[in-house]
């Protein structure tokens, strides 16, 4: 690295976190800390992929996307490496299984803006629809392995559902011309508590596809957070449509369940991922209306209960029919009836005026 990149390195230490264990902190003689990433088993052609990625990251930064700058790129026998800028802030997942709801609700508009900044920056490998559909129907290369779920009695039904979703909705995945991060998770989003200060773990080659997939990635991990889930899901459906959205969410179920069961079978996070997988798959199986709706559905109300004066005279049935609706006596009944009459008049006026 010193020979090829010309860096004056004083210290090199493994970075904590991450799954690949291929990232390191490097410190130069001036005390500046940068990030070293190594890609084992990559040939020299991977260097060209890194230069292409660097060009896309430059365009993203021009759009206000906090992507790291590349400081050096090189290769050694059996490996390719690059050194990139260390960005400020801490990961949004805080190293905890449960996310910080307050912080995420505050940062969600900015996350959606960053996703929009990825639009139209596709310069890399094509074949996006086949990439996602194939993982669901046959499995991926080193990830999204069907055998992991098939080997366990408690996940075989989940695998059958995911394969069925892949067969049914895989053909609806659009080709897309966006830049796709492909691992847009809370662990790869940095914040100083006020704004998003970094999007990290962006690896070669550049992936061209549908940026809505990155929202589906984020949505999977927040699927039990009602308000945030509904906002993210609405944006995902707006960008991708319900059929492609199902395929993207099913891919995330398969990817995370496979990885968690293979490498962290006893972890608390794995139990949460299995719970999320069941929630997501159940919503997909119930069709478009259920996918669009909030999980908390209000109970249907009998409108006649507050309009029938005769029921009011019989206090028992009337109060039972209107329990929890703020109608306790004659005065509240009349007030509610006036409100309903105003609403009917408003609807009639709307119908008349078109």
What is the third-level CATH fold of 2-85? Answer: Phosphorylase Kinase; domain 1 (3.30.200)
Mean pLDDT of the chain: 85
Cα–Cα distance between 223 and 279 in angstroms, integer?
8
Predicted confidence (pLDDT) per residue in 44-99, tens digit: 789 999 999 999 999 999 999 999 999 999 888 888 999 999 999 999 998 787 88
Q: In the prediction, which pLDDT does 313 show?
A: 41
β-pairing, 9-14 with 208-209?
unpaired
The continuous run of DSSP H or E covering 85 comes out as strand 79-85
Q: In the prediction, which pLDDT does 308 show?
A: 40
CA atoms within 13 Å, Cβ hemisphere of 214: 28
Cα–Cα distance between 166 and 94 in angstroms, integer?
33
Q: In the prediction, which pLDDT does 59 show?
A: 97
- Give the least confident one: 27-36, 218-227, 300-309: 300-309
**Does 170 or 313 have the greater pLDDT score?**
170
Instruction: Give, in degrees to the nearest 5, the angle at Cα 278 between 274 and 283.
Output: 150
Cα–Cα distance between 135 and 144 in angstroms, integer?
6
pLDDT band at residue 353, thresholds of 50, 70 and 90? low
Mean pLDDT of 126-147: 96
Residue whose token pair is 């050694």: 76
Provide the token pair at 156.
Answer: 């075989």
Say what the pTM is.
0.81
Q: In the prediction, which pLDDT does 116 show?
A: 98
Q: 126 CB contacts (<8 Å, ≥6 apart)?
A: 175, 208
Q: In the prediction, which pLDDT does 292 show?
A: 55
Q: In the prediction, which pLDDT does 336 show?
A: 62
Domain spans, the chain: 2-85, 90-292, 303-353
Q: In the prediction, which pLDDT does 354 show?
A: 53
Predicted confidence (pLDDT) per residue in 205-218, tens digit: 999 999 999 999 99
Provide the token pair at 347.
Answer: 């609807």
Predicted confidence (pLDDT) per residue in 242-274, tens digit: 999 999 999 999 999 999 999 999 999 999 999
Q: In the prediction, which pLDDT does 328 show?
A: 52
Mean pLDDT of 159-182: 96
Q: Which CATH code of 3.90.1200.10, 3.40.50.300, 3.10.310.10, 3.40.190.10 fits the domain covering 90-292?
A: 3.90.1200.10
Cα–Cα distance between 174 and 202 in angstroms, integer?
22
Predicted confidence (pLDDT) per residue in 181-205, tens digit: 999 999 999 999 999 999 999 999 9
Cα–Cα distance between 80 and 55 in angstroms, integer?
18
CB 103 within 8 A of CB 92: yes
Predicted confidence (pLDDT) per residue in 274-331, tens digit: 999 999 999 998 755 556 554 444 444 444 433 344 433 444 544 555 555 555 555 6
**Does 324 or 109 have the greater pLDDT score?**
109
């Amino acid at each position: 690295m010193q020979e090829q990149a010309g860096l004056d390195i004083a210290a090199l230490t493994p970075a904590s976190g991450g799954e690949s264990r291929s990232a390191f902190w490097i410190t130069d003689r001036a005390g500046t800390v940068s990030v070293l990433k190594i890609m084992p088993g990559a040939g020299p052609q991977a260097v060209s992929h890194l230069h292409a990625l660097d060009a896309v990251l430059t365009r993203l930064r021009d759009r206000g996307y906090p992507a790291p700058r590349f400081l050096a790129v090189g290769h050694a026998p059996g490996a390719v490496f690059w050194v990139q800028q260390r960005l400020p802030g801490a990961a949004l997942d805080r190293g905890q299984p449960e996310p910080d709801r307050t912080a995420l609700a505050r940062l969600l508009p900015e996350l959606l803006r960053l996703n929009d900044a990825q639009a139209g920056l596709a310069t890399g490998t094509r074949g996006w629809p086949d990439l996602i559909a194939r993982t669901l129907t046959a499995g991926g290369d080193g990830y999204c392995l069907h055998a992991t779920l098939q080997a366990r009695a408690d996940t075989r039904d989940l695998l059958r559902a995911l394969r069925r979703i892949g067969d049914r909705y895989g053909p609806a995945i659009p080709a897309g011309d966006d830049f796709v991060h492909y691992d847009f998770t809370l662990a790869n989003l940095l914040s100083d508590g006020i704004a998003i200060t970094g999007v990290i773990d962006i690896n070669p080659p550049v992936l061209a596809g549908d940026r809505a997939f990155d929202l589906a990635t984020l949505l999977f991990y927040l699927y039990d957070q009602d308000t945030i889930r509904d906002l993210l899901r609405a944006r995902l459906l707006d960008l991708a449509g319900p059929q492609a959205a199902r395929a993207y969410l099913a891919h995330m179920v398969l990817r995370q369940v496979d990885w968690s069961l293979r490498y962290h079978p006893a972890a608390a996070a794995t139990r949460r991922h299995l719970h999320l997988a069941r929630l997501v798959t159940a919503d997909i199986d119930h069709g478009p209306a259920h996918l669009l709706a909030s999980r908390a559905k209000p109970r249907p109300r009998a409108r006649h209960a507050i309009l029938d004066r005769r029921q009011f005279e019989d206090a028992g049935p009337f109060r039972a029919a209107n329990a929890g609706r703020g109608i306790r006596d004659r005065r509240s009944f009349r007030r509610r009836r006036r409100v309903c009459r105003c609403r009917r008049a408003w609807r009639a006026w709307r119908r008349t005026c078109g």
